[in-house]
Amino acid sequence: MSRQLTETEVKISLARVANLPPDDVTGYVLVLFDDQDLIKTVTNAIEPAVAISVLARAIEYASAQVQEDAAQ
């Protein structure tokens, strides 16, 4: 039987993947997908609305980056 990670361990692991100090990370929304579709969304957000607003902000940033890359 494998032990489940605690919420803090998950946050520290994801911060490490993102190359950020764990103390700078409050929460996370992780989106897993395969070639076809979304598989699962994992978050520590208290309410779905918080997770949705974080995803919306991520889309906004990604859109700006795409526009910036296209201008180069």
Sign of the dihedral defined by the CA atoms of residues 64, 66, 69, 71, in that order: negative
pLDDT in tens, 7-28: 889 999 999 999 999 999 999 9
**Angle CA 49–35–60, to nearest 5:** 35
**Is 72 a residue whose pLDDT tops 90?**
no
Closest alpha carbon to 10 in 19, 24, 21, 22: 22
Residue 2 lies in a domain: no
Residue 1 lies in a domain: no
Range of the domain at 35: 7-71
Contact in structure between 38 and 29 (CB atoms under 8 Å): no
Whether this model's pTM surpasses 0.85: no
CA 41 to chain centre: 9
**Is 1 a residue whose pLDDT tops 80?**
no
Number of independent structural domains in the chain: 1
